Amino acid sequence: MMRFMLLFSRQGKLRLQKWYTATAERDKKKMVRELMQVVLARKPKMCSFLEWRDLKIIYKRYASLYFCCAVEEQDNELITLEIIHRFVELLDKYFGSVCELDIIFNFEKAYFILDEFLMGGEIQDTSKKSVLKAIEQADLLQEEDESPRSVLEEMGLA
């Protein structure tokens, strides 16, 4: 099973983190720092897998963002690499040629998409259609929910 997934920028800014096992905040920060250092130091043509502590790290860079997964000993590296790719495709389809900014400003959406795709560190559904359908349904519900609001209201002045 996947233990965690991290998205971070080339500058070492963490953009998304998803942990599939209970981990203390302090340990999380330490692991993120350590792992970012390892991955960012690697050269472009190097292989996408490495051993780190007792985990296998699988990472891939898309434009300015690194997608980095930690899986267990018996997990399949190549299929994990394609989990990353499928997640990128999902983001791309949803946001329309996704970029780092989309994930920064809509981090909650990125989480929702990831949750529809992976759950408890395992694949829930691999079909792009099914995953996005779930998200779009939610968006429809959102539209129904929300009546238009005036700018004043938005600023808390009304």
Structural tokens at position 15: 């953009």
Least gap, CB of 73 to other proteins (angstroms)? 10
Q: Is 44 in the site for other proteins (CB under 8 A)?
A: no
In DSSP terms, 66 is beta-bridged to 8, 61
| DSSP conformational letter for 100 | H
Least gap, CB of 90 to other proteins (angstroms)? 12
Task: Show the beta-strand stretches assigned E in the chain.
Answer: 2-9, 14-19, 49-52, 55-62, 65-71, 118-119, 122-123
Task: Give 37's Cβ-side CA count (13 Å radius).
Answer: 7
Q: Is 96 in the site for other proteins (CB under 8 A)?
A: yes
Do 67 and 60 form a contact (C-beta atoms < 8 A)? yes
Q: What are the helix (H) ranges across 96-127?
A: 100-105, 107-117
* Binding track, positions 100-119, relative to other proteins; x by CB under 8 A: --x-xxxxxx-xx--x---x
Among 11, 22, 150, 158, binds other proteins (CB under 8 A): 22
Q: Is 10 in the site for other proteins (CB under 8 A)?
A: no
Single-letter amino acid code for the residue at 100: E
- Which of these segments, 3-11, 61-69, 79-87, binds other proteins (CB under 8 A)? 79-87
Least gap, CB of 85 to other proteins (angstroms)? 6
- Residues in the site for other proteins, rule: CB under 8 A? 1, 14, 17, 22, 29, 43, 45-51, 54, 74, 76-79, 81-83, 85-86, 94-96, 102, 104-109, 111-112, 115, 119-130, 134, 137-139, 141-143, 145-146, 149, 154-156
